[in-house]
Amino acid sequence: MRPKLIDEPYPLSTADRERFKADGYMRLPGVLDAATLAHYADEITRVTLAHNKYKDVPLEQRSTYGKAFIQVTNLWRLSERARELSFSRRLARLATELLGTGGVRMWHDQALYKEPGGGPTPWHVDQQYWPMASDRCVTAWIPLQPVPLELGPLQFGRGSHRLDVARDLAISEQSDAVIREAIRAQGIEVVCEPYALGDVSFHLGWTLHAALPNAADRPRRVHTIIYMDVAMRLAEPASENQRIDWRAFTPSTRVGEVMDDELNPILYAAAE
C-alpha cells in the first residue's frame, strides 16, 4: 500500500526558505519516516543492483567516478514502486517552495550507491551537466538508511552557489583539485554532517559539494530526485556533457522551449 506520508505537506518556515537561499543547501529532519523508507528501500536496491554496470568490475579497476558510487538513472521508468517515491508530492512541494517557483518538473532521478570501501565523491557542481536556462533546479538527496560520517555523507560549500567555481568542469580529480583550492583561497565554509534516518537534503545545481568515502562494511544507499522549475527552458548546450544529457533526459525539446518532454512530467504545481 502506498504510504500516505509521501503526499502529505512538510512544514517549511520562512526562515528555512531564507536559509536555503543563502546557503544553497539544506538538510531537513524527519522528511520521511522509517516505515516509508522501508517500503521503498528493497525495491530501489533491487533495481540499482540489476542495472549496475560495474557488478563484474572490482573497485580497484574502476575510474575515480566508478569508485565513488554505483549510478542508475530514471529508476521511475524501471519500477512502479520507485516511481511512487520519485513522484512524491511531499518532496516535490518542498523543492517548489525552496526554489520559489510555480512548480517543478522531473529532470531525472537516480540511485547513488556507495559500496563498502567506495572512494570519495570528488568536489563538483551538478549543473555543469544540465543545459538549463536558469539556476532554478535542485536535487533531493534521500538516504535509505542513517548515514554516519563513516558511511560517506555529502559535504557542502556554504553559499558557494553564488560563486563561479568549476562551472565548466565535469566531476573528476581535476574538479576536486580546483574546488579544494577555491575553498582554501576564498575561505568557503565546508559543512559535513551525519544524516539521521528520514533526513533529506536539498542542494542547488551550482552548490559545491562532495561526499566522503565509505569506510563502513555496508553500502550507503541513496535515492535522488532532480527537480527543475516547471517553466524551465532548454539552453543551448555549452558542452558535450550537456548535449548528452539533452538527448538522454529531454530529447524532444528544442533550444529555447520549455522542457515539456514526456520524460519531464510536472511533479507539483503551486496552484494545486
pTM of the predicted model, to two decimals?
0.96
Q: How far is CA 116 from the centre of its chain?
A: 21
Q: Is residue 197 part of a domain?
A: yes
Which residues have CB under 8 Å from 129's CB, separation 6+?
170, 241, 242, 244, 245
* pLDDT at 272 (0 to 100): 61
Q: Is residue 223 part of a domain?
A: yes
Q: Is residue 185 part of a domain?
A: yes
Cβ atoms of 214 and 220 closer than 8 Å? yes
Q: Where residue 55 sits, what CATH number does that domain have?
A: 2.60.120.620
Q: Is residue 8 part of a domain?
A: no
> 205: which 3 cell numbers?
545545481
pLDDT digits (tens, 9 = 90+) for 93-135: 999 999 999 999 999 999 999 999 999 999 999 999 999 999 9
Q: Is residue 100 part of a domain?
A: yes
Looking at the 3D structure of the chain, how many domains does it have?
1
- Please give the mean pLDDT across all residues of the chain: 96
Angle between helices 89-99 and 14-23 (to 10 degrees): 70
Q: Is residue 201 part of a domain?
A: yes
Cβ atoms of 86 and 59 closer than 8 Å? no
Q: Is residue 13 part of a domain?
A: no
Which residues have CB under 8 Å from 20's CB, separation 6+?
26, 98, 202
Domain that holds residue 254: 20-269
Q: Is residue 228 part of a domain?
A: yes
The number of beta carbons lying within 10 Å of the beta carbon of residue 251 is 10
The one-letter amino acid at 193:
E
pLDDT digits (tens, 9 = 90+) for 228-270: 999 999 999 999 999 999 999 999 999 999 999 999 999 999 8
